[in-house]
Structure 1
Amino acid sequence: MDISQTTTPQGGASKPASQPVGQQVYVQPRGYFQRLGMLDWLYGIGLFAAMLFALNRFGGYMDYYEKAILVLAAPVFTALGWGWKPVRWLIPLIAVLALCGVASYGGSLDAANQKFVLKYMLSSQSAILWMSALFVFSTAFYWLGLLARSPFGGSVGSKLCWAAVVLGFTGMMVRWYESYLIGADVGHIPVSNLYEVFILFSMITALFYLYYEQRYRTRALGPFVLLVISAAVGFLLWYTVARDAAEIQPLVPALQSWWMKIHVPANFIGYGTFALAAAVGSAYLLKSYGILADRLPALEVLDDVMYKSISVGFAFFTVATILGALWAAEAWGGYWSWDPKETWALIVWLNYAAWLHMRLVSGLRGRPAAWWALIGLVVTTFAFLGVNMFLSGLHSYGKL
């Protein structure tokens, strides 16, 4: 539609001419980059500047694949921050806290027991203990908010969840540095054992939940998702005390590969979103049976979150499985060996492939989809943890 413009007598901004009553005025939508504000651009420029600094300062210690990951991280996290605004403060805050922790060491691990800020806050073990406590408190406040119909409870639960994410990622970054303080041959990204990946699982599940919390403007799913995270935290604390799991160990030969840096995170994005889908599925079932029905989001919203979570998880789990096969070919000389871990990973993949197939082809909805998501969590948990506990094979280095 052609819209004529008039100019005010004072030379001000032009205004649309009068339109007939009921006639819609077409407004040209702004482009993607036009919708970005000053903070968006500052955030993006800051990430690229940090990437260039790291490349210049530490590039000599990196292989070509590590340089590629570093270079690609800047545009990926820039786009993520532009699409989901909380990331704009989350990444800088984690970076500042982690750098403060790293600087406090002064090149010696002994500082962890000597300096207050490390001993009680920013050493990896301290930060992860704070993360664990904050997740438990977050769970309690979310449930208080749901059962008491208290917006305050949900608001506090959400803030505590964000604080747990900040300290959890800070602890992982500092732990990465601590591993290099032990020795250059010991240093590695902290995703190599059950202790480290349970932290990663908690972080990923929480982040995806917080995204959906903002996207759908409801905190009613927090009690269910945080229960899953608190269960993971409970295992993490038991594992830490019973097996001294927080101690940093050198990598076994099979894990001394750059594939680990991309295979494990992709895998746990899958695990985390599958767990999120199961938690939402449990909320769906409660509402469908009339339990807490007036306090939970509409069934359509729960169904949509469940579907999107499984879709994202399946995509990343597929990528992780392919990366795992490539890693196996390098480490053991074959892409697939029907090792128990590989076999159960395939079972998990087939389970969610079938769920999505039934959803897209047969219109799977309602209680059957929710029950299937819950059963999927049982299958995924066995593939993630049960195989390590009861079976052995090429992946026996992850055994409990």
Structure 2
Amino acid sequence: MELSPSPTTSPTYQRAPGYLQRLGLADWLFALLLCVGAGVALARYSSFMDIYEKVILLASVPTFVALGWHFKAVRWLMPLVALLSLWAVSLYDGNLDAAQTKFFLKYMLSSQSAILWMSTLFAFSTVFYLVGLLSRSNFGNSVGSKLCWAAVVLGWTGMMVRWFESYLIGPDVGHIPVSNLYEVFILFAMITAMFYLYYEERYATRQLGAFVMLVIAAAVAFLLWYTVSRDAAGIQPLVPALQSWWMKIHVPANFIGYGTFALAAMVATAYLLKTSGYLADRLPALEVLDDVMYKAISVGFAFFTVATILGALWAADAWGTYWQWDPKETWALIVWLNYAAWLHMRLISGLRGRVAAWWAVGGLLVTTFAFLGVNMFLSGLHSYGKL
């Protein structure tokens, strides 16, 4: 007869600590700081918010808490950006002209100054990452990474200060800075950089920085050209179609998709070079490149799907119909179908290797036309974003 082991003789099994048990004091302090900040904002500014904005504010707390717990760098990034932004707000003292008279505003913390610093730091980061890759220099990659983080800090600070500046112009002008090409190009650069920095930390490799920073540098170059040639840095009142709380969630979700699709394409470029024998000894393993490409597209597809649904709801609210086959809508659908097919082929047919990489690179061309080409060459209900 087979006997069950007695409690005193049975082997001891140790359960791995749960996720919450693995959190440290810094994690809980970060969560507490976000809760306090949201509470202060709600108590002080609730009279200026509608019910939807209050829901967005409250929902952002657990979202950013989870982000900070998963991506540790966010725990210092958010407080630092908040401190720099609040410092800038205090320097304005309610007067927009202070941006031209106070030293730190004029040369560092006004929105235009901070965004110019962001652009400069991204450019130098690209150079150092390239030097690190070509010379196999850990120093170059390390400096490139630090410069990228500095650009992210000043970029987010510039966006927060620009938001405040819009309200200094007039309460009816104030809006979240995601309403035109100038603002969304900044958003695109920031999102792409942050996702790259996450994967850099996650996979303990900086060799991909030279590739991802190229697409960010291209965005920055366009941003600077657009600023000079179109005087695009000025803050303008929202057109009626954009005067909606939907913009606060639709546009950021959309650009998480654009940013991660661009990142995946640049990683795919590295994959193709490695499989062709170029820089093979200087790039991460093919398995790592394939995994980053897959995860970036998966995240981007999820957010792009949400953004498309939100866009349809916004369209119904603004124009009375969910879909009108506007050029922007049509090309958004093409982007969605392209990556849906990519993921389907990967999960069902095991798509890997050079075919998947070439497809991801081609996807960037489709995404770029949907993002920028439609604004340049086509007209429709979204023509307020034209060049």
Q: TM-score, normalised by structure 2?
A: 0.97
4+ residue segments displaced more than 2 Å? 1-4, 24-28
SS in 2 for 1:292: coil
Number of matched pairs: 383
Matched, 1:236 2:246: no
Partner of 1:271: 258
Q: Distance in 2 between matches of 1:66 and 1:319?
A: 18
Deviation per CA, 1:82-123: give whole Å up to 9, x if none. 111111100000000000011110101100000000000000
Q: Distance in 2 between matches of 1:259 and 1:74?
A: 19
Q: Distance in 1 between matches of 2:289 and 2:21?
A: 33
Matched, 1:312 2:299: yes
What displacement does 1:38 show?
A: 1.0
Q: Distance in 2 between matches of 1:33 and 1:279?
A: 35
Q: Distance in 2 between matches of 1:121 and 1:211?
A: 26
What displacement does 1:26 show?
A: 4.2
Partner of 2:157: 170
1:11-30 matches, within 5 Å, as 26-30=13-17
- Select the residue among 84, 90, 95 that pairs with 1:108: 95
Partner of 1:293: 280
SS in 1 for 2:232: coil
Partner of 1:122: 109
Q: Distance in 2 between matches of 1:105 and 1:353?
A: 47
Matched, 1:189 2:168: no
Query: What is the one-letter code of the residue matched to 1:122?
Result: L
CA 1:107–1:361 in 2, change beyond 3 Å: closer, same or farther? Answer: same
Deviation per CA, 1:54-91: give whole Å up to 9, x if none. 11011111100111111111111111111111111000
Q: Distance in 2 between matches of 1:227 and 1:54?
A: 38
Partner of 2:317: 330
Partner of 1:260: 247
Q: Distance in 2 between matches of 1:318 and 1:298?
A: 30
Q: Distance in 1 between matches of 2:70 and 2:328?
A: 35
CA 1:28–1:192 in 2, change beyond 3 Å: closer, same or farther? Answer: same
Query: What is the one-letter code of the residue matched to 2:210?
Result: P
CA 1:26–1:398 in 2, change beyond 3 Å: closer, same or farther? Answer: same
Partner of 2:209: 222
Matched, 1:59 2:50: no
Query: What is the one-letter code of the residue matched to 1:350?
Result: L
Deviation per CA, 1:152-195: give whole Å up to 9, x if none. 00000000000000000000000000000000100000000000
Partner of 2:238: 251
Partner of 1:99: 86
Q: TM-score, normalised by structure 1?
A: 0.94
CA RMSD of superposed structures (Å): 1.5
CA 1:110–1:364 in 2, change beyond 3 Å: closer, same or farther? Answer: same
Q: Distance in 1 between matches of 2:368 and 2:386?
A: 14
Query: What is the one-letter code of the residue matched to 1:258?
Result: W
Partner of 1:180: 167
CA 1:2–1:394 in 2, change beyond 3 Å: closer, same or farther? Answer: farther
Deviation per CA, 1:24-67: give whole Å up to 9, x if none. 97433112221111111111111101111111011111100111
SS in 1 for 2:97: helix
Q: Distance in 2 between matches of 1:261 and 1:206?
A: 21
Q: Which has the larger radius of gyration?
A: 1
Q: Distance in 2 between matches of 1:392 and 1:364?
A: 36
Matched, 1:350 2:337: yes
Matched, 1:47 2:34: yes
CA 1:46–1:289 in 2, change beyond 3 Å: closer, same or farther? Answer: same
- Select the residue among 107, 126, 143 that pairs with 1:156: 143
Q: Distance in 2 between matches of 1:216 and 1:2?
A: 45
Matched, 1:359 2:340: no
Q: Distance in 2 between matches of 1:251 and 1:26?
A: 61
Partner of 2:357: 370
Q: Distance in 2 between matches of 1:148 and 1:178?
A: 44
Matched, 1:84 2:71: yes
